[in-house]
Structure 1
Amino acid sequence: MTDHASAPTVWLPIPPAEIGGLPEGPAYVFWDGAADFPADPASAAFYAVPYMKPPEVTARPLPEMTGLRVVQTLSAGVDHVTPYLSQLPPGVRLCNARGVHEASTAELTLALILASLRGIPRFVHGQDAEEWHAGFYPALADRTVMIIGYGSIGAAIEDRLAPFECERVVRVARSARDTPRGPIHALSELPELLPAADVVILSTPLTEVTKGLAGADFLARLKDGALLVNVARGPVVDTEALLAELKSGRIQAALDVTDPEPLPAGHPLWHAPGVLISPHVGGSTSAFLPRAKRLLRDQVRRFVAGEPLENVVQTT
């Protein structure tokens, strides 16, 4: 362990030299979840959480970070951190990675929608088997698309829906409000809104309110042939309820996240009819690293300068 006890430390999951442009003042250490800590956790003032590591790994130094002032995630969701906030001193600001994942997640969302509607998985299997699956397939054009979870990712998804000539985009969030694009409906309105949707996109954070949101009653309200797309978190969907609907052939699903995750070998979701699964890669693209570095550089600069931080979602 390197001795950084003389100065407050900034823990970064990317080597500081690779980020570049970090302000002078703090001591910078690199930690990406290794067994050994790079410095005394008690000296940490700013902790950037390692990306895509299990919560039990990323939370390990938190009880010892008695001087912590900022926790910065590199994910849009913070559900892997919030259960451990009670271990921190008061006044610690939790910040998410708004601005890092929107483009990549929205890209994958459109890819999953188009692949599912246009039959791409069937064509791939047909190519392997040298089978020609001609016929008519659903289009995205003239369809009603619902986005549940209208934050920055939901808005980025709507940006990319614009050229596809959808009949209507319905926006749903925790509470109702108006935007220049049109109204955002409250979650409480879902029972009335769901039956009209051809494509339902889940891009909401995982909270106590949204856990199991897409359960049996939610899914039963979807029209026959509807497509459910989950780019949020796996537990937003009740897996058993979804399996029942998929096995009936009534709806389809495209999932970048699952519950459990990673999806274990032998799980019935792998081979359920009408489901397309990608392995939680919504934000894992070439766009991630430069955007993550830019976020960390700017947040640390703000912290050192005593300026307001961006993306604060909670304060202990």
Structure 2
Amino acid sequence: MPERPQALFAMTAQNVPQVFPPQVLAQLRESVRIDPTRVAQDFTDPRVRDTLARTEILVTGWGCPRLDAAALDAAPELRAVLHSAGSVKGFVTPEVWRRGIAVSSAAAANAIPVAEYTLAMILLAGKEVLAARDRLRTERAFPGWEFVPGIGNHGRRVGVVGASRIGRRLLDLLRPFELRPGLTDPYVTEAQAAALGVPLLPLDDLLRTSDIVTLHAPETPETRHLIGRRELALMPDGAVLINTARGGLVDHEALIAELRTGRLSAVLDVTDPEPLPADSPLYDLPNAFVTPHLAGSQGNEVARLGRTVAEEAARWVAGEGLAYGVDPAALEREA
């Protein structure tokens, strides 16, 4: 039986036991030789240089140092980078691709809790639960059993901006509900949208016709402030904007101005900047619901990321290729 290839963790050391708890670590070790006490937080650290020189598989995560030419020169045996989180943009450099090193990401696994969070917020927003909670807290009086006009999720129109992994996962989660989803994405064809079971609309039309708009696009120079003053004005009265993607997709000054009118509401798990300054009006506006970037993997969910890497390592070692390989050509339009 051939010897298992040498692997090395490259991430914030305190995250290793969270992402790779004992059972997941044992699964990973079935395919590779890896020491959880030896973690590269700096590729120039003498304590990891010897292991790095023999490393064939780098298991990366949040806090991984940049894989520039100097780091790669120190890892001449490196053949694959298996990332136990979402985006690899923060540490993978063009030099990685030039050297033919394969890269995999657990972004598909991380998409699951983000889509779940978004689904929950869509359903809560449709029932105006957040505003009702605040009214009840302030007035300390139950409004009675009268029907509340204008709320409910039956037939509500949901506009999905971006057929990313999260956007597609969300569309799957929406299927059991009697909602009417639509999609906008410049890289999706009519036929692809039909296969996803949703109509494809230009952004302006999606904004005009959606009760809830949820953002799942990457932040690039083209998408920065994708939702600004003009786009917010297109949204119908009472509409809700949900952002679990990147804060820079939304012009926050324009959003604050629109929220102050009371015409729209917003659910923001990401902001620009992040965190918000202490005096940001978004903390206090009654129609803004802000959470601290927790839609992605948290708590017991992060072990799913480690398990994804362990399964990917087993495939790679068996010569089956990567199930979640990163395509460098598509990376510029991904998160």
- Please state whether the residue corresponding to 1:294 is helix, strand or coil: helix
The 1:78–1:218 alpha-carbon spacing in structure 2 relative to 1, beyond 3 Å, is: farther
Contact 2:85 2:305 in 1 (8 A): no
Tell me which protein shows more strand as a share of its residues: 1
Superposed CA deviations along residues 117-162 of structure 1, whole A, max 9, x for unmatched, are 4333334434544522637252222211111122332222123323
Counterpart selection for 2:93 from 81, 85, 109: 85
Structure 2 residue 121 is matched with structure 1 residue 115: no
What is the TM-score when the length of structure 1 is the normalising length?
0.80
Structure 2 residue 26 is matched with structure 1 residue 20: yes
- Please state whether the residue corresponding to 2:327 is helix, strand or coil: strand
State the superposition RMSD in angstroms.
3.1
Structure 2 residue 238 is matched with structure 1 residue 225: yes
Counterpart selection for 2:65 from 49, 59, 67: 59
The 1:130–1:43 alpha-carbon spacing in structure 2 relative to 1, beyond 3 Å, is: farther
- Please state whether the residue corresponding to 1:250 is helix, strand or coil: coil
The 1:132–1:161 alpha-carbon spacing in structure 2 relative to 1, beyond 3 Å, is: farther
Superposed CA deviations along residues 187-209 of structure 1, whole A, max 9, x for unmatched, are xx212332111111111233333
Counterpart selection for 1:185 from 186, 200, 209: 200
Identity, % of aligned positions: 30
Code of the aligned partner of 2:26:
G
CA distance in 2, matches of 1:128, 1:32: 49
Tell me the residue number matched to 1:312.
325
The 1:315–1:158 alpha-carbon spacing in structure 2 relative to 1, beyond 3 Å, is: closer
Contact 2:82 2:105 in 1 (8 A): yes
Tell me the residue number matched to 2:256.
243
- Please state whether the residue corresponding to 1:163 is helix, strand or coil: coil
Instruction: Spell out the pairing of 1:14-53 with structure 2 (5 A cutoff).
Output: 14-15=16-17, 18=22, 19-21=25-27, 22-24=29-31, 26-29=33-36, 30-31=38-39, 33=41, 39-40=48-49, 41-51=52-62
Superposed CA deviations along residues 204-263 of structure 1, whole A, max 9, x for unmatched, are 233333232222232222122211111111112222221121122221111111111122
Structure 1 stretch displaced more, 113-122 or 194-203 = 113-122
Superposed CA deviations along residues 4-42 of structure 1, whole A, max 9, x for unmatched, are xxx843325524672212245544455385896761245
Tell me the residue number matched to 1:4.
none
Unaligned runs of 5+ in 2: 330-335
Structure 2 residue 183 is matched with structure 1 residue 171: yes
What is the TM-score when the length of structure 2 is the normalising length?
0.76
- Please state whether the residue corresponding to 1:155 is helix, strand or coil: helix
Structure 2 residue 83 is matched with structure 1 residue 73: yes
- Please state whether the residue corresponding to 1:10 is helix, strand or coil: strand
Counterpart selection for 2:7 from 9, 24, 40: 9
The 1:240–1:71 alpha-carbon spacing in structure 2 relative to 1, beyond 3 Å, is: farther
The 1:98–1:251 alpha-carbon spacing in structure 2 relative to 1, beyond 3 Å, is: same
- Please state whether the residue corresponding to 1:229 is helix, strand or coil: strand
